[in-house]
Amino acid sequence: MLRTVGAGPAGWSLGGAYVGQIEQGLERALRTRPAPSSTEARLRFLLAAHRGSTRRIAAVLGVSQRTVQRWVTKKFGARRPPGPMQVRAIEEAVLARWQPRIRARRRARAEAEGFVFHTRARFGFAAPAGSSDDPRVRWITQDLPGEVARELFAARDAGAGEQQQTVILARALGHAYFREWGRRAHGLHITFSDVEFADFSIG
């Protein structure tokens, strides 16, 4: 079984946009090699992907060809770095083109066979009568079925953020881990927050 590498802080910025631990974990699980991390390396990747055509890259990024030429030129004093919004567009363009066949295969496998979810987060509980336990941080590793993967990826495709993805996983963990697939603690509701770590192992 492939185990993905753990995450660090509670979230990171994708060109200024917040990306939470669940989104990071899903991205890691779909890749077998990390995508280029610097803007310069990402531009080299895009050049290779588009056979050196700055015109095609410009069309993808929504900028002029001359702008792309200024980013990649080797002439001394002529290079101009992209701005924050352009850095974000470059990163998103690279991620969309990074290992597409591998990503498709790994997603299909997760949706068919399920995955193992590893997390450290704050869990709280509420029973139908209104009683509750104070939330506390737990480490949890749990097998989850393909239907959960399908729901997560569908939400992601629809633009869902970390909050909606957390709701999906809270519901799944409540049933599988805390209620033991419906064998105990009937009616127990789970809250899942302050995610410090989230990883997905795809078989």
Averaged pLDDT for residues 38-55: 96
Residue 153, both tokens: 């990826």
Query: Measuring CA to CA, which residue among 188, 193, 160 is closest to residue 19?
Result: 160
Residue 26, both tokens: 């899903």
Amino acid identity at 72: V
- In this prediction, residue 184 carries a pLDDT of 81
pLDDT tens digits along 55-94: 999 999 999 999 999 999 988 888 899 999 999 999 999 9
- Give the C-alpha separation, 156 to 147, whole Å: 14
What are φ and ψ of residue 128, in 5° steps? -55, -30
What single string gives the DSSP state of each residue in 117-143?
EEEEEEEEEE-TTS-EEEEEEEEEEEE
